[in-house]
Amino acid sequence: MEDRGCASTQQPLPNQTDLSASKGRHILFLGGTGTIGRATVAALVAREHRVVCVARPKAGAGRKLSQGNTTALLQGAEVCFGDVTNPTFLAEQVFRDRQFDAIVSCMASRTGEPQDAWAIDYQAHADVLSLAKASGVTQMVLLSAICVQKPRLVFQQAKLAFEKELINSGLTYSIVRPTAFFKSLAGQVERVKNGKPFFLFGDGTLTACKPISDSDLAAYLADCLKDASLHNKILPIGGPGPALTPLAQGE
């Protein structure tokens, strides 16, 4: 039977005995064990939000993170262990006895394969949204992807399906679509270090992007909670400086 429960590494705020008096808000966070998720949880905790993360008992890439590892990674947050695709777990272990102000999600399917994509990118989000609406949550910040602009793959279609549901939900929403990540562009570094060539398609100038760091994206996602100019919008976001072509990256 799956081990479920909640663990907290939340520290009391200075001169504060009642967490309800915190300047921050009560946030349900999805996808906290990914690199962007961890950075965003840290950003929210630093802003004195009370964060509850949902995580599998064995989380992370290859399910290698134990509950203790996950709790240590998400310092300052409460972690509820269970299956986010199980609506009963969400209702009874996450939403019951808690009143959240907002949902922040960096959750995404790991494989992008059809069954995984519809289960995570769409259905798990839809289940959380339904429970959020029923319990009075008023806001959701969703990390999506720029590639949904030209949906050719199932995971892109699943993400778009949930985006549409969120937009029509009545909640205040921010849908954030990053253009690219440094970690994604660094995939060829090891092969170049080993003396192999840097791959280019065409002449290397057919596309360009402005990658964003995990910490910058995390700060932007946290800003979406309070910055009214970022509400009820789809938000493409990139990093600073000029757009980089693959040729420039290789150079």
* Phi, psi angle pair for 79, to nearest 5°: -115, 125
C-alpha span between 66 and 63 (Å, rounded): 8
Q: What are the average pLDDT values for consecutive 10-residue runs of the chain, which has 251 residues?
A: 56 39 84 95 98 87 80 94 96 96 96 95 98 98 95 96 98 96 82 90 90 96 98 95 89 87
CA torsion 133-82-25-100 (nearest 10°) is: 30
Give the model's pLDDT for residue 21: 42
Rg over CA atoms, the chain: 19
pTM equals 0.86
209: phi > 0 → left, psi -120 to 50 → alpha, else beta; which?
A: beta
Give burial (CB, 10 Å; 0-12/13-18/19+) of 106. Answer: buried
Q: What is the pLDDT of residue 3?
A: 47
Give the pLDDT of residue 1.
Answer: 39
User: Can you say whether the dihedral through the CA atoms of 236, 239, 240, 246 is positive or negative?
Assistant: negative
Q: How far apart are CA 180 and CA 249, in angstroms?
A: 13
The predicted pLDDT at position 139 comes to: 98
Q: Where are the domains of the chain?
A: 5-181+212-240
Tokens of residue 132, six digits = 């959020």
| Torsional class of 73: left (φ above 0), alpha (ψ -120 to 50), beta (otherwise) | alpha
Top CATH class of 5-181+212-240 equals: alpha beta
Q: Are strands 5-8 and 78-81 parallel, antiparallel or unpaired?
A: antiparallel
What pLDDT is stored for residue 124 in this prediction? 98
Task: Please give the pLDDT value at position 61.
Answer: 64
pLDDT of residue 13: 37
